C-alpha cells in the first residue's frame, strides 16, 4: 500500500502548492487592482478614517470634518456656505465618492500622499493622530459672494480671474447644491443625492467650467484680436468696407444686424454697437485657419486643468467659409465655457499675455509646511501689447459709450472695459437667449480682475430684455467692485 500512499502524498502536496500559487496571484499580482477597485470601500474608509484636511479661502477653511460616530466612516465632511463654494470644492461623500478638488487633492486632504510620508512617520512616533493637509485656494471670498449673490435665482455662472497671474478669484454656478446634504451615506443622504440627480435644472453641473455655451457677441473680441494681429485692421477707427446686408459666403442670406449704423463701421464702432456684418466679414477676411490659430492661442479646443478639468471650448476647425463667418460672431459651432471667456478677457487686460488659470495656490502639510506652491505660469501671448491696448480701448468704449454701460464702476482711477453678448440658441432660436458679459477693471497698477458672466435663463424677463448689458453686466460690476474693494 505504500506506493499509492506516496502518490497521494504528492497529490496532497500539489493541492497545497496550487493554493500557494493562487494566493501569490491574488495578493501579489492582483493586489493593486483589487486594492484600488472601484467596489473596494477601503478607499473611502481610508478617506474618512482621519480628520480630513481643509480647503482654505482667504485664510479661513470653507470645509470641516465632524466625528460621525459611525463604525464604517469615522469622519464626515461639512461645508460652510456649501452651495456658494460647491463649484470650487466639489464634494466628498461617503456614499458617492468625491469630485473636483476633494478628489484631485485627496491624497493631501487624507494625509496619505507620499509627500506627507515624513509627517505620517513623525506622527507615529509622537503618538499624534494622523491628519490631512490643507489645500489653500486662490479664490477671494468677497468676489465669490458677489458672484453668487448676483446670480441669485437665475441659472448661470461667473468666473473671475486675476489677469496678471491667472489666479481664479471667483467660480460660481447656479443653481447650486449643498455638498453637506449628501456627505454621509444614510437614507437622508441618498434622498438628497437622488433628488439632485433627478433635478432637471442640473444643480450638480459646474456651469463655470463644465458647460459650453454659444458665446454670441462676446466672441467678437477674439475676432477683433485676430483682425488686428493678422494686419487686416491696423487703425481701429478707420472705416471697414462692409456694406449693410453683407452676404454670408456660400449663401444667399445677408448677415443681419440688430442695430443701425453698421455700414462700413470702423472696428471700434462695430464693437461698440456689436455689428454682426463687420465681424463676420472680418472673420472671413482673416480666414478660418488664422481664426482657429487665434482662438487656440486663447485656449480654445483644449481642456484646461485648474487643476479641476474644464470642458474644451470649441472653435470649428473644419468649417466652410460660411460657417467660419458665422463662427466669427460666436454662432455656428462656436461654444465656450465661462472660464474660457474669462481667460480671453484676462489676456486682453494683461496686455496680451495669457496666464494659465489656476485655483490651488498651495498645498500645506498638517504642520503648516508648504508642500507645493503653484506659481503663475504663462500660457501664451495671443496678441501683442500694442494690439491688446487697442482692444482695451475698444472694450472701454463699449462700457463708457455703448451696450455695457451698466458695468461701469464709476471709480476714480479705475477703467472698465467690457463686451456684451446675447447668444441665441435652440431650434429657430426659440429658446431664451443666453445673456453674456465679459469685462475687466484696470487701475494704474494694472488689471486686478477680469470677469465672464453668463445668465442662462432669466425668470420673469421679457425676451427682448435679455441682453448681456442688462442682466449680466451688473453681476460683473459687483464682482469687480468686490475685488477692488477687498484689495483696498
- Nearer to another protein by C-beta: 30 or 253? 30
- Nearer to another protein by C-beta: 27 or 234? 27
- Nearer to another protein by C-beta: 70 or 81? 70
Output phi, psi for 172, to 5 deg.
Answer: -120, 150
Q: Could you tell me which of 354, 333, 343, 344 has the C-alpha nearest to residue 212?
A: 333
Residues 6 or more apart in contact with residue 108 via CB below 8 angstroms: 53, 115, 116, 132, 133, 134, 135, 363, 371
Minimum distance from CB of 125 to another protein (Å)?
14
Selecting among 68, 93, 181, 217, the annotated active-site residue is: 217
Beta-strand pair 134-137/55-57: parallel
* Contact flag: residue 124 with another protein (CB under 8 A): no
Minimum distance from CB of 184 to another protein (Å)?
15
Q: Could you tell me which of 55, 56, 59, 75 has the C-alpha nearest to residue 67?
A: 75
- Nearer to another protein by C-beta: 114 or 412? 114
**C-alpha distance across the termini of the chain, in Å:** 98
The residues facing 378 across adjacent strands are 355
Minimum distance from CB of 182 to another protein (Å)?
21
Q: How far apart are CA 414 and CA 401, in angstroms?
A: 16
Q: How many residues does the chain have?
A: 488
Residue of 65, 72, 197, 416 interacting with another protein (CB under 8 A): 72
The residues facing 159 across adjacent strands are 171, 452
Q: How far apart are CA 96 and CA 439, in angstroms?
A: 37
* Contact flag: residue 126 with another protein (CB under 8 A): no
Q: Which three cell numbers stand for residue 387?
A: 494690439
* Contact flag: residue 429 with another protein (CB under 8 A): no
Candidates 37-45, 197-205, 267-275, 467-475: pick the segment binding another protein (CB under 8 A).
Answer: 37-45
- Nearer to another protein by C-beta: 43 or 379? 43
Residue count at the site for another protein (CB under 8 A)?
A: 35
* Contact flag: residue 370 with another protein (CB under 8 A): no
Candidates 31-39, 128-136, 239-247, 339-347: pick the segment binding another protein (CB under 8 A).
Answer: 31-39
Please check whether residue 130 is in contact with residue 75, taking contact to mean a CB–CB distance below 8 angstroms.
Answer: no
Q: Could you tell me which of 209, 207, 82 has the C-alpha nearest to residue 155?
A: 207
Minimum distance from CB of 93 to another protein (Å)?
18
* Contact code string over 52-71 relative to another protein, x by CB under 8 A: -------------------x
Q: How far apart are CA 395 and CA 416, in angstroms?
A: 8
- Nearer to another protein by C-beta: 33 or 375? 33
- 147 to 186, contacts with another protein by CB under 8 A? none
What DSSP state is assigned to residue 53? P
Active site residue 486: no
Residues 6 or more apart in contact with residue 40 via CB below 8 angstroms: 34
Candidates 4-12, 145-153, 299-307, 342-350: pick the segment binding another protein (CB under 8 A).
Answer: 4-12
Q: How far apart are CA 228 and CA 286, in angstroms?
A: 10
Residue of 3, 60, 198, 200 interacting with another protein (CB under 8 A): 3
* Contact flag: residue 194 with another protein (CB under 8 A): no
Residue 429, CA atoms < 13 Å, CB-side half-sphere: 11
Minimum distance from CB of 189 to another protein (Å)?
17
* Contact flag: residue 24 with another protein (CB under 8 A): yes
- Nearer to another protein by C-beta: 3 or 198? 3
Collapsing DSSP states into helix, strand and coil, what is residue 195? helix
* Contact flag: residue 187 with another protein (CB under 8 A): no
- Nearer to another protein by C-beta: 46 or 457? 46
Please check whether residue 316 is in contact with residue 328, taking contact to mean a CB–CB distance below 8 angstroms.
Answer: no
* Contact flag: residue 34 with another protein (CB under 8 A): yes
Q: How far apart are CA 58 and CA 83, in angstroms?
A: 18
Residues taking part in catalysis: 217
Q: Tell me which residues touch another protein (CB under 8 A).
A: 1-6, 8-9, 12-13, 15-16, 18-20, 22-24, 26-28, 30-35, 37, 39-42, 45, 71-72
Amino acid at each position: 500500500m505504500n506506493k499509492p500512499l506516496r502518490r497521494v502524498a504528492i497529490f496532497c502536496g500539489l493541492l497545497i502548492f496550487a493554493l500557494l500559487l493562487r494566493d501569490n496571484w491574488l495578493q501579489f499580482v492582483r493586489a493593486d487592482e483589487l486594492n484600488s477597485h472601484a467596489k473596494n470601500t477601503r478607499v473611502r474608509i481610508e478617506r474618512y478614517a482621519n480628520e480630513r484636511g481643509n480647503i482654505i479661502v482667504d485664510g479661513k477653511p470653507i470645509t470641516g470634518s465632524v466625528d460621525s460616530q459611525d463604525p464604517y466612516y469615522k469622519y464626515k465632511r461639512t461645508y460652510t456656505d456649501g452651495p456658494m463654494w460647491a463649484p470650487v470644492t466639489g464634494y466628498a461623500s461617503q456614499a458617492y465618492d468625491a469630485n473636483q478638488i476633494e478628489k484631485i487633492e485627496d491624497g493631501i486632504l487624507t494625509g496619505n500622499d507620499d509627500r506627507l510620508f515624513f509627517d505620517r512617520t513623525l506622527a507615529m512616533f509622537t503618538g499624534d493622530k494622523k491628519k490631512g493637509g490643507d489645500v489653500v485656494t486662490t479664490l477671494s471670498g468677497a468676489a465669490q459672494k458677489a458672484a453668487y449673490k448676483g446670480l441669485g435665482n437665475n441659472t448661470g455662472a461667473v468666473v473671475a480671474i486675476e489677469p496678471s497671474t491667472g489666479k481664479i478669484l471667483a467660480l460660481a454656478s447656479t443653481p447650486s447644491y449643498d455638498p453637506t446634504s449628501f456627505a454621509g451615506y444614510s437614507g437622508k443622504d441618498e434622498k438628497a443625492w437622488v433628488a439632485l440627480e433627478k433635478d432637471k435644472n442640473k444643480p450638480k453641473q459646474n456651469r463655470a467650467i463644465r458647460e459650453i455655451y454659444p458665446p454670441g457677441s462676446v466672441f467678437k473680441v477674439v475676432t477683433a484680436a485676430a483682425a488686428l494681429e493678422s494686419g487686416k485692421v491696423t487703425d481701429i477707427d478707420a472705416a471697414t468696407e462692409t456694406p449693410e446686408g453683407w452676404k454670408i459666403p456660400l449663401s444667399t442670406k445677408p448677415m443681419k444686424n440688430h442695430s443701425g449704423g453698421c455700414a462700413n463701421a470702423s472696428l471700434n464702432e462695430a464693437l461698440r454697437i456689436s455689428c454682426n456684418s463687420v465681424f463676420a466679414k472680418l472673420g472671413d477676411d482673416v480666414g478660418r485657419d488664422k481664426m482657429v490659430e487665434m482662438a487656440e492661442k486663447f485656449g480654445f479646443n483644449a481642456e484646461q486643468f485648474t487643476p479641476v478639468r474644464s470642458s474644451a471650448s470649441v472653435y470649428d476647425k473644419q468649417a466652410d467659409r460660411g460657417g467660419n463667418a458665422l463662427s466669427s460672431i460666436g454662432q455656428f459651432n462656436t461654444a465656450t465655457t465661462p472660464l474660457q471667456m474669462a481667460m480671453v478677457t484676462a489676456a486682453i487686460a494683461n496686455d496680451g499675455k495669457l496666464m494659465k488659470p489656476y485655483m490651488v495656490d498651495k498645498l500645506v502639510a498638517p504642520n503648516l509646511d508648504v508642500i507645493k506652491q503653484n506659481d503663475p505660469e504663462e500660457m501664451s501671448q495671443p496678441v501683442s501689447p500694442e494690439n491688446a491696448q487697442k482692444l482695451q480701448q475698444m472694450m472701454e468704449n463699449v462700457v463708457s459709450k455703448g451696450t455695457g454701460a451698466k458695468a461701469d464702476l464709476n471709480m476714480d482711477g479705475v477703467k472698465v472695459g467690457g463686451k456684451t453678448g446675447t447668444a441665441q440658441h435652440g431650434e429657430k432660436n426659440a429658446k431664451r437667449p443666453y445673456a453674456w458679459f465679459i469685462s475687466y477693471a484696470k487701475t494704474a497698477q494694472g488689471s486686478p480682475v477680469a470677469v465672464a458672466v453668463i445668465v442662462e435663463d432669466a425668470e420673469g424677463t421679457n425676451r427682448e430684455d435679455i441682453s448681456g448689458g442688462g442682466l449680466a453686466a451688473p453681476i460683473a460690476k459687483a464682482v469687480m467692485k468686490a475685488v477692488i474693494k477687498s484689495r483696498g
